[in-house]
Structures are given as C-alpha cells and as structure tokens.
C-alpha cells in the first residue's frame, strides 16, 4: 500500500497578473518528486462535497462566509418584505460567482451559472443587477450606495458596457425584478447576523431545478463552472 502523495496547489492565473507567474509555476514544478504531485481532485484542506451536490451544498462547503452571509441576509430581507419567491431566489443567487468562482463581471458570471436551472427572468435579473447598482432609482427605493464612494472614488465613471446594460434593462419588462435585487442588496452586510442556508431549502426546491446528477455533473453548458468550485485547486 503506497502512501498518499503530497499535492501542491497554485493560485489561479488571474491572481498572479501582478506577479511573476512563470516563476511561481517553475517554483512549484521544482518541488515535484516521488511522493509530491500537483493537486487533482478533492483537496483535503477543503470541506468534502457530496457525490451529487445541490445548490445549498456550495453555500455550506465552498462559498466564502462573508458572501454567504450577505446572500442569505439579502434573501431573508426580500422575503420579509413580501417579495415574490422568484425575487427571493434571485437575491439568494445574485453574487454567487463572487462567493466561489470569480469577482470581475460577477453579474454576468452568476447569470450564466444559474441559467439552466432557474426561470429566465431570474437569470436576466441577476445579470442586470450588476449595472443597476451604479444608477440610482429613488422612486423605487434605491439610492446610489454611500459605500461606492469609498470603493470607487467620488468621480467614478461607469464603464460604457454597464451603462448600455442599464439602459437596456430600464426599457425591459423585467426591469423591476433586477431593481428589487439591488434594493435588497444594499442593506444586507450585517456581520452579527447568522442564517442557516436550510431556511431556504424549500424555496430552492421549488424554484431551482437541480440536476439529478448533481451540479457540475449534468453535462450542461455551465457544468464546468460548478466543477471548478468543487475542485478549485486542480492543476489543470
């Protein structure tokens, strides 16, 4: 019986743009020897995932705690305010790419991740909320976030593609679905609020069409995104 080899992990390439990526790779490759290999499959440093993972398994075992808290608070706030269950689900899902996959263009990534499994209106609204965050709508309860002055500076110029996305959304019949996400997004960063994901088990069961094979294994166009969160440290 052979001993389990030590397995090496590397940051994602996007994390190394300001560093000398080639040197990082060479350093890791230089550590390879009998009993030391590159990471592949389950990383024992991470919580184990079920064989057929569902949506809330990612909340429990893969998504970062800060974003999970925000998503659960946002969904609870929407539910408390009497929002339709589709809106509550959209609030639960709107930042999931930030939680476990990628931060940049998070609305677009999150919308693609969930599109095969939710109502098209939900996926559309999740995508558009990224642009709508930058445009106040006081008539519908949304002011420009004070925090954005700190995050982006007082003279931040919204990129043209997000401005165009906002204009398209403003004219769309589902505008208010996306807008309500932003309304329930801004006030849900309380650090001392702890919510069990199980609170939304029934809601997810009704409105998120989880594949029988488990997320990441259904051969959908987005299965690789979910697998990348199950095995985030795979070398290739």
pTM of structure: 0.89
Q: What are the tens digits of pLDDT across the range 214-224? A: 999 999 999 99
What is the structure's pLDDT at 190?
Answer: 81
Q: Give the C-alpha distances (Å, rounded to integers) separating 196 from 137, 148, 181, 205, 227.
A: 32, 29, 20, 16, 24
Third-level CATH fold of 55-230? Hypothetical protein af1432 (1.10.3210)
Count of Cβ atoms closer than 10 Å to residue 198 Cβ: 11
State how far the Cα of 231 lies from the Cα of 71, in Å rounded to an integer. 22
Give the mean model confidence (pLDDT) for residues 25-47: 87
Instruction: Name the one residue in this structure whose structure tokens are 């991740």.
Output: 113
pLDDT > 70: percent of the chain: 92
State how far the Cα of 143 lies from the Cα of 133, in Å rounded to an integer. 9
Give the mean model confidence (pLDDT) for residues 182-202: 89
User: Which of residues 27 and 8 earns the better pLDDT score?
Assistant: 27
Flag whether pLDDT at 29 surpasses 70.
Answer: yes
Give the mean model confidence (pLDDT) for residues 146-163: 92
Give the mean model confidence (pLDDT) for residues 158-163: 97
Model confidence band, residue 196 (pLDDT cutoffs 50, 70, 90) = very high
Element (H, E) at 155: none
Domain boundaries, the chain: 6-38, 55-230
Burial (CB count <10 Å: 0-12, 13-18, 19+), residue 109: buried
- Residue 56 structure tokens: 């809330």
Residues in the chain: 236
Q: Which of 8-12, 59-63, 103-107, 183-187 has the lowest mean pLDDT?
A: 8-12
Count of Cβ atoms closer than 10 Å to residue 71 Cβ: 25
Give the mean model confidence (pLDDT) for residues 173-177: 98
Average pLDDT taken over every residue of the chain = 91
């Amino acid at each position: 019986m052979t001993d389990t080899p030590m397995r090496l992990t590397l940051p994602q390439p996007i994390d190394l743009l300001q560093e000398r990526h080639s040197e990082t790779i060479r350093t890791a490759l230089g550590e390879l020897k009998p009993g030391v290999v590159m990471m592949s499959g389950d990383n024992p440093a991470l919580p184990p995932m079920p064989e057929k993972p569902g949506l809330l398994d990612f909340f429990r075992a893969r998504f970062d705690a800060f974003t999970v808290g925000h998503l659960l608070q946002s969904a609870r706030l929407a539910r408390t305010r009497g929002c339709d269950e589709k809106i509550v689900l959209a609030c639960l899902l709107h930042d999931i790419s930030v939680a476990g996959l990628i931060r940049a263009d998070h609305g677009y990534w999150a919308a693609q991740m969930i599109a095969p499994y939710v109502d098209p209106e939900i996926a559309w609204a999740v995508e558009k909320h990224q642009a709508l965050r930058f445009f106040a709508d006081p008539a519908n309860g949304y002011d420009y976030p004070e925090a954005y002055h700190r995050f982006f500076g007082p003279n931040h110029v919204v990129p043209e593609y997000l401005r165009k996305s906002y204009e398209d959304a403003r004219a769309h019949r589902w505008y208010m679905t996306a807008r309500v996400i932003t309304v329930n997004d801004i006030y849900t960063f309380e650090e001392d609020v702890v919510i069990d994901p199980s609170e939304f088990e029934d809601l997810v069961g009704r409105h998120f069409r989880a594949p029988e094979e488990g997320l990441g294994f259904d051969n959908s166009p987005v299965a690789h995104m979910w697998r990348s969160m199950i095995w985030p440290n795979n070398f290739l």
